[in-house]
Structure 1
Amino acid sequence: MDININNTIVRRATNADLPQLAEFLQSLVEAERPFDSTLKEGQIFYYDIQELILDKATEVLVVDNGNQIIGCGYAQIRTAKAYEKHESFGYLGFMFVSPEFRGKGINNLLLTDLKKWVLSQGITEVRLEVYHDNEAAVKAYEKAGFKKLITTMRCDIG
């Protein structure tokens, strides 16, 4: 699908965006299922999107292309662990781009604006979580300057 970059803006999410964002959340869950055998069946709500929109420590952004929302993400200020060098960090989540718009730089637009917001809060550390086996996402985040930090491991012993 062609995208006219001149019609594309990144803006703050509003309550009017909630139906589309709820749809994106379920699409994100479905995209992550192959990477996580621990996810329950059916609808999953990782977080309350409206609560994130209202939270002063969180910036929820959408990518709007000609009045069609094609992507979203959020940055949230979180407290670092007592033993870390920084007191707070920006955490990025709910990174989603509609499949037909992937590979067109939309995720990078989101990352750029989310990083700017985190910087505007006086914070320079940014983190996110991505499934190790989600190679496309890992490569995209590495291209945007992220480096792997820790790997969470699990096993089923039952």
Structure 2
Amino acid sequence: MMAEIEIEEAKKEDFDEIVRFQMGLADYHKRIDPEYFKSGREREEQIKKWLRKFFLKKRNNRKILIAKANGKAVGFFMGSIHKAHPYCKEEKIGEISVAFIDEKFRRRGIGKMLFEEMIKWFKKREIKLVEVIVASKNNIGISAWEKYGFREIKKTMKLNL
């Protein structure tokens, strides 16, 4: 039987689960590009500090959505609204900065549910452009975002010094 999935705004009591997911995401990125990324364990304190800031800052331009299956956290999305570059067509843009679904719950439409709820939040705030940054070697993420209608418009390049 399929678990009942609920999407809700994350609360302070969800913090530890979100840290766990974020650390899992860091581990995944380290596996696909160990030259660039560190593991969740290596960055646990920085991850907690970053997430605390996101939780505590003014909430009207930030949103953390969490998916729960029968009350257990199984994934989350983080989104924010910020000013666009001066030469961008839109003045404000939405950004989905983090998306993660527990491996045991993937391919069940949970990511789509979180995505649709985040898009509703952006639309309520009259956002017309949403961006997502995805690692170049994250083929799973790239194909998921393309499935939702995203297309590549710029590249981030790096130079090791």
With the length of structure 1 as denominator, give the TM-score of the two structures: 0.89
1:31 corresponds to: 28
Q: 1:135–1:49: structure 2 CA closer, same or farther, 3 Å change rule? A: same
SS in 1 for 2:17: helix
Distance 2:159 2:55 in 1: 35
Contact in 1 for aligned 2:27/2:38 (Cα 8 Å): no
Query: Which one of the candidate residues 83, 91, 103 is aligned to 2:95?
Result: 91
Equivalent position to 1:48, from 47, 50, 59? 50
Q: Is there any run of 5+ residues in structure 2 with no aligned partner, and where?
A: none
AA in 1 matched with 2:118: L
Report which stretch shifted further, 121-130 or 41-50. Answer: 41-50
Cα RMSD, aligned residues only: 1.7
2:127 and 2:34 map into 1 onto residues whose CA distance is 31
Structure 2-normalised TM-score? 0.88
Identity %: 21
**Superposed, which structure 2 residues align to 1:3-152 within 5 Å?**
3-4=2-3, 7-33=4-30, 34-35=32-33, 37-40=35-38, 42-44=42-44, 45-46=46-47, 48-54=50-56, 55-56=58-59, 57-152=61-156
Are the aligned partners of 2:8 and 2:65 in contact in 1 as well (CA < 8 Å)?
yes
Segments of structure 1 that go 5 or more residues without pairing to the other structure are: none
> Which 4+ runs in 1 deviate beyond 3 A?
44-47
Paired positions, count: 154
Secondary structure of the corresponding residue to residue 95 of structure 2: strand
- Verify the 8 A CA contact 2:7 2:114 in the aligned structure 1: yes
